[in-house]
Chains A and B, each alone.
Chain A
Amino acid sequence: MTDIEIVSRLPQDERVLLMPLVRTTKTFWRWAAVMAAITVWGAFTYVHQLRRGLGVTGLNTPEYWGIYIICFVFFIGISHAGTLISAILRVASAEWRRSITRSAEFITVLVIGFGAVQPILDLGRPDRVLNVVLHAQPFSPLLWDVLSIGLYFTASSIYLYVPMIPDLARIRDLGIRPRALYAFLAIGYRDTPKARHTLERIIAVLAVAVIPIAVSVHTVIGWIFALTLRPMWHSAIFGPYFVMGAIFSGIAALIIAMAILRRVYSLEAYFKDVHFNNMGLLLLVMTVLWFYFTFAENLTVWYGGEKAELATLYSKLSGEFAFPFWLMVACCFFIPFGLMARRATRGVAGTTVASVAVVIGMWLERYNIVVPTSLHTMVEMASVHYVPSWVELSIMAGTLSGFILVYMVATKFFPIISIWEIKEGREKSIDEVSERVASYLPDDLAAVDS
């Protein structure tokens, strides 16, 4: 019996959710080829940069950091999609989470490497990267970053893997190829009530543990900037601002992934309108928070009126960076707020459009943080501009396509929606939720008295 025959005889949930593992369409191969080509191109340009030095970028003095650092903050921000959102929804026992946690966790684990590699791409001497370990200087925020990202990657990988074990065991039992892979990953799990109980307790602990780790990651990234004395970087709001921005872009990335998965794998029954509506509401909250943080940040700078800070601020509001700044405001606030504030536009199409805007806007936000401050030095300098070179843009494209490619490949080996959690939802949660709601309601006084 072929894998496809095995899967087509299964009941609905397993049939639909395991089908992508056994059947691969031509469209998939075409997109995979395109993504692989762009990734290879990006890798090729990096080799070019390795041979010629960072001179092939558009960077200069004082624009020491550019696209790579922007992408570093951006991709690590995207990685907050998974673990944090999924953990918060799990801890809050949000029942609608069941079909979306897995796809979110996969984003985290797969994008984090692409984000973490960016500062290495940015190094003048990548051959000496191990010095960070050999000669670690504990007061450097960059070192804190290496530690927190390392911890985050480890924790989120475990947090992705552990809840996947029952599904992997099921796939192993069905005998889907590659059998050795699933047998290895399922680590001899048998789905007994006792095993399930242990598993759920581990997941509950992990979900709580990953939240502070995720918060620390983007806080420390914000501190890389905030702990310098540079205008508009040296700001106490940066830690929380970065965490908020990371969750914001993470939610948007997750909505886009859900919309694509729903279409290509016909998951309309699993990623339902209500999921997009709820995610859209989360996006709406984050949109408003984003506006609040951005307003607070800029008002503080403007009211303080310090010379170098003001020069940086005005370059964004009305100067050289007015276009990226106001485009960011449109993408991060006006477009998503306009769409998400109305129920009518909080469907699949509306949330997807809003999310694309947010992802673009959040990339621009990192651009507006990194570039204008770099160019505003405390000592007067001749006016300098920064135009990214084709090498930087190629590597950025390669990074994005590389992430999309590994995500596509992951959906071919692992069910992108948790099968056992859906099943559990059908079998147990409906009763549990009724009981829970009943427990919120006032007690019967007569019963309490007696």
Chain B
Amino acid sequence: MARWGMVIDLDRCNGCQTCEVACRSENNIAVGGPQAARENRTISWMRVHAEVEGEWPDVRARFVPQPCMHCDRPPCTLVCPVQATSIDREGIVNQVYARCIGCRYCANACLYTVKYFNWTRPVHPSSAEPGLNPDVSVRPVGVVEKCTFCNHRLQRARDLARGENRPLRESDYVPACAESCPTGAIAFGDLENPTHRVARLSRDPRAFRLHEELGTQPKVYYLTERD
């Protein structure tokens, strides 16, 4: 059984936010516009956080792309009263938009603030409509949504591999953010499969996870910057 995970090399990330844009168009994320930004209601399943350390002139900026951490012990799934969010057998934390009652308990329980709520009816500008991805459902108002590791791509890749009567290859299933990263900072694959890059990178001495100490066991690893 695969255990899908991601390794993000902070040394390679230059903060270009291509991953954010790729994620938006892949997953039909609504365009909130300036009003949503003002009201802190924007939705961005992948978000590049900029952290500034030190004081001028000795300033260091670092960029930390943050998707859902797909915790092995997710705090969000346990609190959901209707089982609208759950972790599947391959470790992907999903959200069932058709069942979610919008209580936002999961969003509050999430330590990484990566669950997003549709405060208003999601808007897609007419120019973006032809480009909507038919594999990803458009969310209604009033439900929580989140990064799914583009698991619709997994379904497609698996169908394809089955059709060609071969096992799933590492390159078959890559989320939009990893695929689009121009510096190759985002690696994706099966953490349990020793032939996959992520399996090796997640054991790298530079590897760490966000708030590892809290025991949520995220499957998104980061590689610290080299000095």
Chain B binds chain A: yes
- A residues adjacent to B (C-beta < 8 A): 52-55, 57, 59-65, 119, 122-126, 128-129, 131-132, 134-137, 139-143, 146, 224, 227-230, 374, 377-382, 384
Majority secondary structure, B binding face: loop
Query: Is the pair A228, B120 in contact by a Cβ cutoff of 8 Å?
Result: no
What residue in chain A is nearest B98 (Cβ atoms)?
A128
B206 to chain A, nearest CB (A): 20
Query: Is the pair B40, A61 in contact by a Cβ cutoff of 8 Å?
Result: yes
Chain B residue numbers with a CB within 8 Å of A61 are 40-42, 107, 113, 116-117
Q: Which of B79-128 contact A (CB under 8 A)?
A: 79-84, 99-105, 107-109, 111-113, 116-121
Per the bound structure, the CA–CA distance linking A229 and B211 in Å amounts to 11
Query: Is the pair A142, B119 in contact by a Cβ cutoff of 8 Å?
Result: no
Query: Is the pair B101, A379 in contact by a Cβ cutoff of 8 Å?
Result: no
Query: Is the pair A54, B142 in contact by a Cβ cutoff of 8 Å?
Result: yes
Interface membership of chain B positions 126-145, coded 1 if the CB is closer than 8 angstroms to chain A and 0 otherwise: 00000000000000111110
- B residues adjacent to A (C-beta < 8 A): 39-42, 49, 51, 66, 75, 78-84, 99-105, 107-109, 111-113, 116-121, 140-144, 210-211, 214, 216
Per the bound structure, the CA–CA distance linking A192 and B83 in Å amounts to 54
Query: Is the pair A123, B120 in contact by a Cβ cutoff of 8 Å?
Result: no
Would you list 20 pairs from A and B whose C-beta atoms are within 8 A, ordered by A residue? Answer: A53-B118, A53-B120, A54-B117, A54-B119, A55-B141, A60-B41, A61-B117, A62-B108, A64-B104, A65-B104, A122-B104, A123-B142, A124-B101, A124-B142, A125-B100, A128-B82, A128-B101, A229-B75, A230-B109, A380-B51
Known: A139-B79, A142-B103, A380-B51. 14 other contacts (CB 8 A): A53-B118, A53-B141, A55-B141, A60-B40, A64-B117, A124-B102, A124-B144, A128-B102, A136-B81, A143-B81, A229-B216, A374-B108, A377-B111, A379-B210
Q: Which of A124, A131, A132, A228 contacts B108 (CB 8 A)?
A: A228
B21 to chain A, nearest CB (A): 20
Majority secondary structure, A binding face: loop
Per the bound structure, the CA–CA distance linking A412 and B49 in Å amounts to 60
Query: Is the pair B108, A65 in contact by a Cβ cutoff of 8 Å?
Result: yes
B96 to chain A, nearest CB (A): 9
Per the bound structure, the CA–CA distance linking A251 and B142 in Å amounts to 37
Closest 6 CB pairs between A and B? A124-B102, A124-B142, A55-B120, A60-B40, A142-B81, A64-B104
Query: Is the pair B80, A123 in contact by a Cβ cutoff of 8 Å?
Result: no
Most A-side CB within 10 Å, residue of B42, B99, B117, B143: B117
What residue in chain A is nearest B86 (Cβ atoms)?
A137
Q: Which of B81, B104, B210, B216 contacts A124 (CB 8 A)?
A: B104
Query: Is the pair A137, B82 in contact by a Cβ cutoff of 8 Å?
Result: yes
Per the bound structure, the CA–CA distance linking A55 and B101 in Å amounts to 16
Per the bound structure, the CA–CA distance linking A374 and B108 in Å amounts to 7
A43 to chain B, nearest CB (A): 19
Per the bound structure, the CA–CA distance linking A335 and B141 in Å amounts to 45
Query: Is the pair B143, A125 in contact by a Cβ cutoff of 8 Å?
Result: yes
What residue in chain A is nearest B118 (Cβ atoms)?
A124
Known contacts: A64-B107, A229-B214. The answer to whether A125 contacts B102 by CB under 8 A is: yes
Per the bound structure, the CA–CA distance linking A83 and B18 in Å amounts to 59
Per the bound structure, the CA–CA distance linking A131 and B140 in Å amounts to 17
Most B-side CB within 10 Å, residue of A129, A131, A381: A131
B37 to chain A, nearest CB (A): 10
Query: Is the pair A59, B119 in contact by a Cβ cutoff of 8 Å?
Result: yes
Most A-side CB within 10 Å, residue of B40, B140, B141, B216: B40
Query: Is the pair A381, B113 in contact by a Cβ cutoff of 8 Å?
Result: yes
Query: Is the pair B79, A124 in contact by a Cβ cutoff of 8 Å?
Result: no
B146 to chain A, nearest CB (A): 12
Per the bound structure, the CA–CA distance linking A25 and B107 in Å amounts to 50
A206 to chain B, nearest CB (A): 29
Q: Which of B119, B142, B214 contacts A60 (CB 8 A)?
A: B119
Query: Is the pair B102, A123 in contact by a Cβ cutoff of 8 Å?
Result: yes
Chain B residue numbers with a CB within 8 Å of A143 are 81
Per the bound structure, the CA–CA distance linking A63 and B40 in Å amounts to 9
Query: Is the pair A132, B82 in contact by a Cβ cutoff of 8 Å?
Result: yes
B73 to chain A, nearest CB (A): 11
Per the bound structure, the CA–CA distance linking A227 and B85 in Å amounts to 17
Query: Is the pair B82, A131 in contact by a Cβ cutoff of 8 Å?
Result: yes
Query: Is the pair B103, A135 in contact by a Cβ cutoff of 8 Å?
Result: no
Chain B residue numbers with a CB within 8 Å of A126 are 101
Most B-side CB within 10 Å, residue of A119, A143, A228: A228
Q: Which of A54, A63, A384 contacts B102 (CB 8 A)?
A: A54
